[in-house]
Structure 1
Amino acid sequence: MQTQTFHITPSNIDQVQIDQAAALIKAGELVSFPTETVYGLGGNALSSASAEKIYAAKGRPSDNPLILHVANVDEVANYAAEVPDEVYALAKAFWPGPLTVVLKKKDIIPDESTGGLDTVAIRVPDHPIALALIQAAGCPLAAPSANLSGKPSPTTAEHVLEDLNGRIAGVIDGGPTYIGLESTVLDLAHGAPAILRHGGISAEQLKTHLPNLKTSNENAAHSPGTRYRHYSPNANVSLISDFASAELRTWLEEKQAVYIGPQELGNPHIQLSGAEAYAQNIFALLRQLDQRGVQHIAIESIDESGLGRAVMDRLRRAAGLS
């Protein structure tokens, strides 16, 4: 299969190209597109065959549920059997945006799109290309990250093509994403609201609207992206903390490692500081270092408040620690 690339500027949507990409989806094919979080791999969420193609293209286990991307909150009732009042309050605060809600599903959603679960994960992405594509396709788009399963998530179209060129029908190149890690997944289907996956909306932000919020949940299997190894480059990843600069230099030399973090070092290093910078850059850096043939990457841990908790979740998974 030849993968077609569409080049669309987010600030100047080319409707002709959007319609061409949407036609591929209507024909049962897969198209990758940018969101504010990472690039998604989109197919018709109402089609069992399209969902199966997503799993096959990614090499993703079929019991790992997909996220439905819709154009606005009014569409949620088309696919969820129950829509609690919290959904509308959260939508007013956070949609479009990097928040996914898990709800009881309607039968219109095939089991293949939900990993065989009786729940469905839904969000409204905050990206003009994504919203234009959903509207042109005329269906909700099931769209996990557009990478081979287990690899770092893609934040550019080039990353998508590294993994999926020849495996999918199209990719819309809309430039780099601006958050850089996936959405927060919130369970509203099993009693008290609970975070199943930390992401672009922090627990602190959600607690202002959900005072009884739980930050972990025994139903984490209902969340996309929590069951299996994720975000891992070919290189070995180590998380480090509490190293003085001199000790760190010695340790890096012994490991022949590239350092990512806030310290300025004489050894090979990439300076990053703060949760937002980590989130925006870490997946791209892991891919770049793989391309350079780096064998060992040392990443400095950051504070786990706010967005930092989602960043550290990804880093622990990249390091094989969770």
Structure 2
Amino acid sequence: MENFAQVIAALQQGEVIAYPTEAVFGVGCDPDNEQAVMKLLDIKQRPIEKGLILIAADYEQLLPYIDDSQLTDQQRTTIQASWPGPVTWVMPTKPNVPAFLTGQFETIAVRVTDHPLVQQLCREFGKPITSTSANLTGQEPGRTVAEVQTQLGHCLPAILEGETGGRTNPSEIRDAVTGNVFRQG
């Protein structure tokens, strides 16, 4: 539990942390802290235009970022039937969601995780965190604390100790409006 408190403190201080997800380790930060997001993009060597995924403990945590009034009841039902779980949905954003999260898009990718440690992390932090694989762009994502430590340990103040959910593929990414699959799960 000491490590859990350390990870929460790092998030609250605007730091970038790593944590296990359903398939690989992710790196994340406070999505409302622009400096933290810029630090994450710098660590990952990831272009801002690509946008980021938000991972949450429950649907309510996503409501400040998504505009689900643009979805039909059927679309909402389909999304909620896949959560919690390893499906990421690209959804319309509220007008106040900053471009440092959405990149070049007017949508944002979001997921309600079924990983118990990440659910606890988001609950204790009180909101979603950003989620992108724990690796340098172009490298293999870390699947263990040791692999993350090797690639990114020098620039992360805290790595949440735990196991991934055992899935082999990163989350599937689908469009909430059209249902199109952007990345197979």
Could you tell me which runs of 5 or more consecutive residues in structure 1 were left unpaired when the two chains were aligned.
1-13, 200-322
Choose the corresponding residue for 2:116, options 115, 119, 128: 128
Q: Which residue matches 2:97?
A: 109
TM-score w.r.t. structure 2 length? 0.90
1:54 aligns to 2:34 (yes or no): no
- Give the Cα separation in 2 of the matches to 1:163 and 1:155: 11
Does the CA contact (< 8 Å) of 1:99 and 1:185 recur in 2?
yes
Matches within 5 A, 1:5-84: 14=1, 16-83=2-69, 84=71
| Partner deviation per Cα, 1:73-96 (whole Å, 9 max, x = no partner) | 233322112352245423443211
Q: Which has the higher contact order (CA 8 A, sep 6+)?
A: 2
Note the alpha carbon deviations across 1:214-235, whole angstroms, 9 max, x for none: xxxxxxxxxxxxxxxxxxxxxx
Task: Specify the code of the residue in structure 2 equivalent to 1:104.
Answer: P
Greater Rg by CA: 1
1:159 CA displacement: 1.4
Query: In structure 2, which of residues 88, 101, 104 is the aligned counterpart of residue 100 of structure 1?
Result: 88
CA–CA separation in structure 1 for the residues paired with 2:176 and 2:101 = 18
Contact 1:68 1:122 in 2 (8 A): yes
Does structure 2 conserve the Cα–Cα contact (< 8 Å) formed by 1:31 and 1:169? yes
Contact persistence 2:21–2:164 (CA under 8 A):
no
Superposed, 1:1-322 pairs within 5 Å as 14=1, 16-83=2-69, 84=71, 85-189=73-177, 192-199=178-185
CA drift of 1:167 comes to: 1.1
Task: Report the Cα offset of residue 120 of structure 1.
Answer: 0.6
Q: In 2 relative to 1, CA 193–54 (structure 1 residues): closer, same or farther, beyond 3 Å?
A: same
Q: Percent identity?
A: 30
Cα deviations by residue, 1:186-218 (Å, 9 ceiling, x for unpaired) = 1124xx32111111xxxxxxxxxxxxxxxxxxx
SS of the equivalent of 1:57 reads helix
RMSD of equivalent CA atoms: 1.7
User: Does structure 1 conserve the Cα–Cα contact (< 8 Å) formed by 2:23 and 2:164?
Assistant: no
- Quick check: 91-100 or 33-42, which moved more? 91-100
TM-score (structure 1 length as normaliser) = 0.54
Query: Unmatched 5+ residue regions in structure 2?
Result: none
1-structure distance, mates of 2:112, 2:101: 17
